[in-house]
Structure 1
Amino acid sequence: MDIYYIERATGKRKKEIVAGDRFLRWIYDTKVGNAILETLVKKKVFSVIYGKFQDFSFSRKKIKAFIQDFQIDMSEAEREHAYEYSNFNDFFTRKLKKKSRPISMNVEHLISPADGRVLAYENIDKDKVIQVKGSYYKLRDLLYDDNIANEYDKGVCIVIRLCPSDYHRFHFPDSGTAYESKKIKGQYYSVNPIALNKIVDLYCQNKREITLFESDNFGEMILCEVGATCVGSIIQTYNAGQHVEKGEEKGYFKFGGSTVILFLKSGQIKIDEDICANTKLGIETKVNMGERLGRKIW
């Protein structure tokens, strides 16, 4: 099954270049692969060791080919050349020039906190949140908190899936104050649609970090970063309890594909129509950090 998405900037339907496509399909679609997945690949030790290898200097040899294979525009990065990075993780967590990701500063606009492929759901059922079409999870299982889950019933869920080729720093979608993140231990399944269609409650099973964020313009929201296969670490770079500006960096993922999920309470936001329309068709919309996802409901 090929994976397609809509490129928001052009409106064109594009085929995703999947890192490790053959390996993913073998792991998730065959009996032998499934056995290895459950005994090794989903375990923390596999991803941590693999992630650590990306910190060694010899890993920098992969950078040039990775840039070419995934057609990464290095003119956006602060350091534009492969030789400027000391190892693969140094490249993977690269910073971009500010002008590469213009931020919509209109206070009515909620911006995407990351580069990625977006699905958005309005009026969610806390006991039946969509993972992919036909697959659901309970919000309380994701958050490990019944009371908070109840507060977001009938609210909005926005899922931003990052591919390994994407910019892997994540930012605040509005100005406000973020509290200490809650770390939840878990597995390291891939967050690629191949895995999402196979693993029930995948987001609730994977390692994740959850932050309550008091937004200046959209009320309290939940920011959730989900780890995945070969994500060595989720690194938070913000200072808990301090006011942050819209678009300010919150943290970054080390090597691997990952996901950022936002939850907003009912009556706060209307998601942009193009994202809603594509989501109803079961297709993701490619957006960049700083782009508008929706507009404040007054």
Structure 2
Amino acid sequence: MIKVYNRSTKMYETENVAGKKYLEWCYGSILGKKATEIFIKRKLFTKLYGKFCDSKASCKKIQPFIDEFDIDMTEVIKKPSEFENFNDFFARKLKKHARPFSLNKDDLISPGDGRLTVLTNIDTESLVQIKDLTYSLSELLGDTKTAALYEGGTCLILRLCPLDYHRYHFIDNGICSEGHKINGSYYSVNPIALKNTPKLFCQNKREWSTFKSENFGDIITVEVGATCVGSIIQTYHAGESVKRGDEKGYFKFGGSTTIFFFKKDTVVIDEDILEQSAKGCETHVKFGETIGKAVNR
């Protein structure tokens, strides 16, 4: 059972995990673990499923998915019948005012929908994946020099479930660098997998870039693929100015994760999120929701 904190109700909710029995088998049983290593984590498995999700035949999955996870379609631009395939639905765009956000330059907004965990005063050589499992920022980026700049900083881990809005956005005005693509496996990023797969983020396919923001300094942004996420689609243009709230990109089908690294003394995260993170509990947030403040120096 995965508990997630709801900031609005100040209550814990049990996550409705898509494919829970499948995940428990893949990462919790001897046979499942073997199958995951031999085939499921491989690019071919994700590629084949991705082709199906790009096909017209996958449209039949859309309405049952909406019903099972109670997705609010009043926020979505298209009607269920208007999607060309399941991936079109999965990367659905929302109506303009579905995710309002603060224009106050000191407010840190969430870059997307998902379940948020925050690490502060980080040791870049021992980042917590989940209790008793760690990894290093230099391994994640493949860049020791850049990683060293974020010692003592803040790390935001935003886990997106299959039912979430799967587009991610810039949190401030600024300029983003070209992305660095790192090939890897396609493990699930669900907590069921995280607690059973050492250095999972460092093993999966991922892309990272540096966002030079006006109010929060240089931020490392990392998009991590997962099982059935064959495509991380970047829609921004490197080197061009962007504004707070502009889209950076989106994921195709599957659960996925975005990770953000802030330098020391640049942000202060809201106390309720920090409290839940210290308990090992994720906090449910939506794109545009204020989650912290800039440190004025």
Q: TM-score per shorter chain, which class?
A: over 0.9
Matched with 1:190 is 188
Instruction: Name the SS for the 1:100 alignment partner.
Output: coil
Instruction: Name the SS for the 1:177 alignment partner.
Output: strand
Q: Equivalents in 2 of 1:70, 1:8: separation in Å?
A: 20
Matched with 1:77 is 76
The answer to whether the 8 Å contact 1:4/1:14 transfers is yes
The answer to whether the 8 Å contact 1:4/1:13 transfers is yes
Identity fraction in percent:
51
Q: Equivalents in 2 of 1:9, 1:217: separation in Å?
A: 27
Q: Displacement of 1:84 after TM fit?
A: 1.1
2:200 to 194, 199, 202: 202
Q: Equivalents in 2 of 1:75, 1:128: separation in Å?
A: 43
The answer to whether the 8 Å contact 1:5/1:283 transfers is yes
Matched with 1:271 is 269
Matched with 1:168 is 166
1:102 aligns with 2:93: no
The answer to whether the 8 Å contact 1:52/1:232 transfers is no
Detail structure 1 runs of 4+ shifted over 3 Å in the superposition: none
Matched with 1:292 is 290
Letter in structure 1 aligned against 2:36: L
- TM-score under structure 2 length normalisation: 0.99
Matched with 2:122 is 124
- Show structure 2 runs of 5+ residues with no match: none
Matched with 1:226 is 224
The answer to whether the 8 Å contact 1:120/1:276 transfers is yes
The answer to whether the 8 Å contact 1:234/1:253 transfers is yes
Q: CA RMSD in A?
A: 0.7
Matched with 2:39 is 40
Q: Displacement of 1:109 after TM fit?
A: 1.1
The answer to whether the 8 Å contact 1:119/1:158 transfers is yes
Count matched residues. Answer: 296
Q: Equivalents in 2 of 1:8, 1:53: separation in Å?
A: 37
Matched with 2:147 is 149
Matched with 1:6 is 5
Letter in structure 1 aligned against 2:103: M
Instruction: Name the SS for the 1:117 alignment partner.
Output: strand
Q: Displacement of 1:48 after TM fit?
A: 1.3
Q: Displacement of 1:9 after TM fit?
A: 2.3
Instruction: Name the SS for the 2:87 alignment partner.
Output: helix
Instruction: Name the SS for the 2:273 alignment partner.
Output: helix
1:22 aligns with 2:48: no
Q: Equivalents in 2 of 1:83, 1:48: separation in Å?
A: 25
Q: Equivalents in 2 of 1:17, 1:202: separation in Å?
A: 22
Give a deviation string over 1:253-298, Cα, whole Å, max 9, x none: 0000000000000010001101000001111000000111210111
Instruction: Name the SS for the 1:209 alignment partner.
Output: strand
Q: Displacement of 1:52 after TM fit?
A: 1.3
Instruction: Name the SS for the 1:186 alignment partner.
Output: coil
Q: Equivalents in 2 of 1:110, 1:205: separation in Å?
A: 29
Give a deviation string over 1:107-153, Cα, whole Å, max 9, x none: 00111111000000110001111111221101100010000010001
1:262 to 241, 260, 272: 260
